Amino acid sequence: MIVQPIKTRIFKEGENLFDFIRQNIKKIPEKSVLVVTSKIVALSENRTRQIKNHREKDLIIKAESEWAMKTKYVWLTIKDGVVMASAGVDESNANGKLILLPKNSYQSAKKILAFAQKNYGVKKIGVLITDSRLFPLRAGIVGLAVGYAGMKGIKDYRGKPDLFGRKLKMSQVDIADSLATAAVLTMGESNERQPLALIKNASIEFSTQKTNPRELLINPKNDIYAPIFKNLRK
């Protein structure tokens, strides 16, 4: 698998995202994955807020969350069924504003997919919108797929034999977040100016079917981290 980050100029708020992609990517090979950071998708949708104080920021985070709890460093939140810090609301590389997540990342990915297929003449292509997240008890961020289209997000090994013929009962691979982590690693999180990337030769299943945004989600009651969320309200 090859991940090719693409260096660009600074993306401006309200700018046309499709024109920006076209300016920076001249060709997309078949069976590639186009990676776009959630930040420039959000900027293209004018998903920013100007705030005067921390109270306003807290109100925005809570409004963007399905559930929120203040912790020592950040708000621990659930946004679109995913545990993340502060509902994805970010001040980094925001020029004094807050940048929210896209309004509907799966819908945005679907639109980018249609654009890429038409503009680059490709049939089998995936689109991945990325952000970053933390794992419990682990330092440092990894990638998160907040939306995707044109590919399966999970690979299911349940019912298949392992090396010694034992049928697997639980094993599934989170393809979308694995690709997002590889992309975030190469694209950077600081001043690299690499908000786009192409992933080539990835072992994934492309799909023409509508993406199911819930295929990666688990009910909190069934999650192995469930004890951490014992205070989660219905």
pTM confidence score: 0.92
Q: Within 13 Å of residue 124, how many CA atoms lie on the same side as its CB?
A: 12
Q: What is the pLDDT of residue 234?
A: 47
What average pLDDT does this structure show over 18-29? 97
Parse the chain into domains and list their residue ranges: 1-40+103-209, 48-100
Lowest mean pLDDT among 32-46, 129-143, 160-174, 202-216: 160-174
* pLDDT, tens digit, 9 for 90 and up, residues 66-75: 999 999 889 9
8-state DSSP, 115: H
Architecture of domain 1-40+103-209: 2-Layer Sandwich (3.30)
| Polymer length in residues for the chain | 234
Residue percentage of the chain with pLDDT more than 90? 70
Average pLDDT, the chain: 92
**Those residues with Cβ within 8 angstroms of residue 79's Cβ, 6 or more apart along the chain or in another chain:** 64, 65, 66, 87, 88, 101
